[in-house]
Amino acid sequence: ADTLIGLAEYMPGELMSEALALARTIQSASDRSRALSKLAEYMPGELMSEALAVARTIPSASDRARALSGLAKYVPEVVSEALAVVRTIQSASDRSRALSKLAEYMPGELMSEALALVRTIQDEYYRSRALIGLAKYVPGELMSEALALARTIQDESDQAYALIELAKYVPGELMSEALALARTIPSGYFRSIALIGLAKYVPRELMSEALALVRTIQDESNRTDALSGLMRQLKTIEADILLWKDAFHTLTYQGRNYFITNIPNLAPATISLAGGDKAVLTLVAEAMRDVCRQWP
């Protein structure tokens, strides 16, 4: 197998049929799958059907799915067959890896079936990994289904990281649903991790909702971390005195230098709350300066 893999790049097309015949004789299912996937990268189109026939001889479902996934780039119609093979894989880790590998070549009309397969993975870690692997390729109309699938993950860490990956591709109209899911994470630590991951994708109109979610985190350190993740977007905060006060209070927990550095991010909200009154803004600035002078 390793010899075939090493020679694949340099093998002339007229010898590729012979290489496929050799691949068919490899006893190890894993090695046959590896060799076939590598040969596929350099194989003439007219031999793809022969390569597919070799892939179908692999007895192990996991290795057969891997081989079919390697061919899917060149034979798109193989994806449906590969999904059917993935369904027969018993190992949670192998099923997760097979789905992730196949995701790149999966047409939108098969993604719902793929998500249904993710749901059948009992091990939450591997369910999360499969969801992360699919996230980039889930069409917008199925993202709500993907978020619902993330909700089925009970492990806080696995759920948080699945949510973070999905957030990169969640349409704006579903971000509120993503924030609602983050709110259900019991641990303040993992809720803050989720918020940090979501932060850069939160649209302006949901910033108050995101900041309100920060306020639900009891631990000051975790709360500060979550707020830090939102810091760049804090310029869009609505003129809400409670959120403004909470933002300032939470910033102070991080220390004097951090507080001073991030004051400009709250400037738009501060000006808005002051109604643009220069006298009020002067008093606020003087109060901040006095506090910072006495702050070690």
222: Cβ contacts below 8 Å, ≥ 6 apart: 188, 189, 191, 192
Identity of residue 265: N
The residue among 47, 52, 54 whose CA lies nearest residue 13 is 47
Q: Which residue has tokens 């390729």?
A: 137
Structure-token pair, residue 12: 């002339």
DSSP structural state of residue 57: T
Interatomic CA distance for residues 185 and 196, integer angstroms: 14
Q: What is the pLDDT of residue 259?
A: 78
pLDDT tens for each residue of the chain, 296 residues long: 777 778 777 777 778 888 888 888 888 888 888 888 888 888 878 888 888 888 888 889 999 998 898 888 888 889 999 999 999 999 999 999 999 999 999 988 899 999 999 999 999 999 999 999 999 999 999 999 999 999 999 999 999 999 999 999 999 899 999 999 999 999 999 999 999 999 889 887 888 788 888 888 888 778 877 877 776 666 555 556 766 776 777 677 767 887 787 777 777 777 777 777 888 888 888 888 888 887 77
Q: Give me the torsion for CA of 202, 112, 161, 234, rounded to 10°.
A: 0
Enumerate the H helices of the chain as residue ranges.
2-7, 16-24, 29-40, 48-55, 61-72, 78-87, 92-103, 108-119, 124-135, 143-151, 156-167, 175-183, 188-199, 207-214, 220-230, 241-252, 256-262, 267-273, 278-294
Angle at 54 between CA 48 and CA 59, to 5 degrees: 145
Contact 4, 38 (CB under 8 A): yes
Q: What is the pLDDT of residue 233?
A: 66
Interatomic CA distance for residues 1 and 7, integer angstroms: 10
Q: What is the pLDDT of residue 240?
A: 63
